[in-house]
Chain A
Amino acid sequence: EAGVAQSPRYKIIEKRQSVAFWCNPISGHATLYWYQQILGQGPKLLIQFQNNGVVDDSQLPKDRFSAERLKGVDSTLKIQPAKLEDSAVYLCASSPDGNEQFFGPGTRLTVL
């Protein structure tokens, strides 16, 4: 089966600019997660969707980050405006049952 797809794979922007990431989960997986992984740290959950509804976004910095999953399939994560500390790998994962997660390749964001 096809895995979780993410794009772009790399993005370099200047601070205060905006950026958007896209994720296509494994077909049939109802649960979708966005994580932020700063170098040398474990993934930190930003937001979790069940179909097109938000289950948990308690760690999402809502003043600058937003995410949507309008049709319950693809999802986008946006940062506006970006800060230097947003430099990280943004991982998307999907799950068929809310437990085992399958990760995408990630988007490496560098904010200059």
Chain B
Amino acid sequence: GENVEQHPSTLSVQEGDSAVIKCTYSDSASNYFPWYKQELGKRPQLIIDIRSNVGEKKDQRIAVTLNKTAKHFSLHITETQPEDSAVYFCAATGGNQFYFGTGTSLTVIP
């Protein structure tokens, strides 16, 4: 089965700085890679996703890059704001099974 690793587990940045979270996956058949944001006590919310036929996708301050050869993908948040503080999960799926990473707790310091 798929194995998704996520780093770092915790990340603190100053407001306005950039944050980068990285994930690796093991199954070369995986072709869909979403990122979810989960605030304390709330449900995961999809913030951006990328498919295996695309190398990079951007949505305002958030971008995701995918390197299929190396089997890793990254979330980039620019100009971070305090409301970006949350736990971020990556996931990978090649069809039926969805595998989530272990999460990154991001703290944006005002």
List the interface of chain A (C-beta within 8 A of B).
33, 40-45, 48, 55-56, 58, 91, 98-106
**B interface, size bucket:** 20 to 34
Report whether B98 and A100 are in contact in the complex, using a CB–CB cutoff of 8 Å.
no
Within 8 A of A (CB), among B74-100: 89, 91, 93, 95-100
| Complex-state Cα separation, A106 to B40, whole angstroms | 12
Report whether A101 and B98 are in contact in the complex, using a CB–CB cutoff of 8 Å.
yes
| Complex-state Cα separation, A56 to B44, whole angstroms | 21
Residues of A within 8 A of B93 (CB): 99
Report the nearest B residue to A4, measured CB to CB: B43
Report whether A43 and B46 are in contact in the complex, using a CB–CB cutoff of 8 Å.
no
Report whether A45 and B97 are in contact in the complex, using a CB–CB cutoff of 8 Å.
yes
Q: Is B102 an interface residue (CB 8 A)?
A: yes
Shortest distance from the beta carbon of B91 to any chain A beta carbon, whole Å: 8
Query: A103 is contacted by which of B32, B43, B95 (Cβ under 8 Å)?
Result: B43
Do most interface residues of chain A lie in helix, strand or loop, or is the interface mixed? loop
List the interface of chain B (C-beta within 8 A of A).
1, 6, 32, 34, 42-46, 49, 89, 91, 93, 95-103
Report whether A41 and B96 are in contact in the complex, using a CB–CB cutoff of 8 Å.
no
Known contacts: A100-B34, A105-B43. The answer to whether A41 contacts B102 by CB under 8 A is yes
Shortest distance from the beta carbon of A15 to any chain B beta carbon, whole Å: 25
Report the nearest B residue to A3, measured CB to CB: B43
Residues of A within 8 A of B1 (CB): 58
| Complex-state Cα separation, A40 to B98, whole angstroms | 18
| Complex-state Cα separation, A105 to B41, whole angstroms | 9
Known contacts: A43-B89, A99-B49, A100-B49. The answer to whether A33 contacts B98 by CB under 8 A is yes
Residues of B within 8 A of A101 (CB): 34, 46, 98
Query: B43 is contacted by which of A41, A91, A99, A100 (Cβ under 8 Å)?
Result: A91
Sample of 7 further A-B pairs with CB below 8 A, known A42-B103, A56-B97, A99-B32: A43-B44, A43-B100, A45-B97, A48-B96, A56-B96, A99-B49, A106-B43
Shortest distance from the beta carbon of B87 to any chain A beta carbon, whole Å: 9
